[in-house]
Amino acid sequence: MVKINTTTWLGLSLATGASAACSRKLLQDTAAQYVQAQTSGNPGLLPLASNVSYIENDATVELTKGVLSQPITIDLDRSIYDTEQCIAFTEITAATNTHPYVIDTRLLVSSGKVAAIQSIVTDPGDWVFNATNHLKWAKQEKWTPIPKEKQDTRAVIKAAADAYLDSWLNGTVKVPYGTPCARIEGGIYTGERNVTANTCTMPQFPKEFTGIGDRRYVIDEELGAVDIFHNFPFIDVKRPNGTSSTNFFRIEGGMIRYIHETTVCLTNNCGR
């Protein structure tokens, strides 16, 4: 063990703040281990806390019976890192796997261990699902790090994403759509018509829609990214009070550039 005097140690921990306990590197490593674990179907490749909780589509599942215990060929994975909350988020597109999937996962890290794994797991029959199309468009997107001086604050990133979800209920909410802006919704790509336009605009939902609740955020200023797990009412006719869903955003200069939507259905295409 290296001896280090108290003053120096205190100075270091003050300078780095929360990131001393939860570094970007730790979250990057955890996300990489998660991708390895899913590839081999071996959750043990993750540094699991002894009491780790495992949740798929908002229901507790035994880790050994979950999708993470089954090997999946991953065609694309994209991760973001929230050092303030110590959560890594990864979206996996598995189009060439025998059984295709799009999986969005939150990895909650505590004292270097994975304390909770929460996934939205979608496959054929879920909302406009098509992993081939998801892969085709997602891999063309650019989620490169944003230079420090151009990074948005957490508040700006969160507000842009919230405005989008709020606008579904309240059509007068102003959403900062970029030009271009494109959405991958299941397997639908709005930008197919015109890649240089804003094709993200959502109409207001019918009166029965009560708004998006239970929002759980992962925010990454460096990548200009936010993911929101939420409860999506109305869309699934068999579960009008809400189904598991997530929206994953890239925000540049306060404006929305990309949106991915992944929504679970109880019956084929949510009965629509």
Ligand X SMILES: *[C@@H]1O[C@H](CO)[C@@H](O)[C@H](O)[C@H]1NC(C)=O
Least distance in Å: CB of 193 to ligand X?
A: 7
Q: How many residues bind ligand X (CB under 6 A)?
A: 15
Determine if 21 is a binding residue for ligand X (CB under 6 A): no
Rounded alpha-carbon distances, angstroms, from residue 70 to 54, 101, 104, 116, 126: 14, 12, 16, 18, 20
Determine if 49 is a binding residue for ligand X (CB under 6 A): yes
Amino acid identity of 10? L
| Cβ-based nearer residue to ligand X, 100 or 224 | 100
Dist CA 133 CA 131 (whole Å): 5
Rounded alpha-carbon distances, angstroms, from residue 37 to 26, 56, 116, 143, 259: 16, 16, 15, 23, 26
For residue 139, give every residue at least 6 positions away whose Cβ sits within 8 Å of its Cβ, in sequence order, or none: 75, 76, 93
Per-residue x/- marks for ligand X, 171-190, CB under 6 A? -xx-----x-------x---
Dist CA 231 CA 83 (whole Å): 24
Applying CB under 6 A, which of residues 69, 133, 245, 246 lies at the interface with ligand X?
133
| Cβ-based nearer residue to ligand X, 32 or 163 | 163
Applying CB under 6 A, which of residues 5, 51, 64, 98 lies at the interface with ligand X?
51
Instruction: Classify 254 in phi/psi space as left (phi over 0), alpha (psi -120 to 50) or beta.
Output: left
- DSSP three-state, residue 140: coil
Region 205-264 residues binding ligand X, contact defined as CB under 6 A = 240-241
Applying CB under 6 A, which of residues 28, 36, 170, 268 lies at the interface with ligand X?
170
Applying CB under 6 A, which of residues 14, 98, 196, 203 lies at the interface with ligand X?
196
Determine if 60 is a binding residue for ligand X (CB under 6 A): no
Determine if 64 is a binding residue for ligand X (CB under 6 A): no
Dist CA 267 CA 156 (whole Å): 37
| Cβ-based nearer residue to ligand X, 79 or 198 | 198
Q: Contact region for ligand X (CB under 6 A) — 20-28, 76-84, 154-162, 165-173?
A: 165-173
Residue 121 burial class via C-beta count within 10 angstroms: exposed 0-12, middle 13-18, buried 19 and up: buried
Least distance in Å: CB of 195 to ligand X?
A: 8
| Cβ-based nearer residue to ligand X, 151 or 199 | 199
| Cβ-based nearer residue to ligand X, 222 or 252 | 252
Rounded alpha-carbon distances, angstroms, from residue 31 to 36, 55, 157, 194, 253: 9, 17, 22, 33, 26
| Cβ-based nearer residue to ligand X, 58 or 222 | 58
- Chain residues that interact with ligand X, rule: CB under 6 A: 49, 51, 130, 132-133, 170, 172-173, 179, 187, 194, 196-197, 240-241
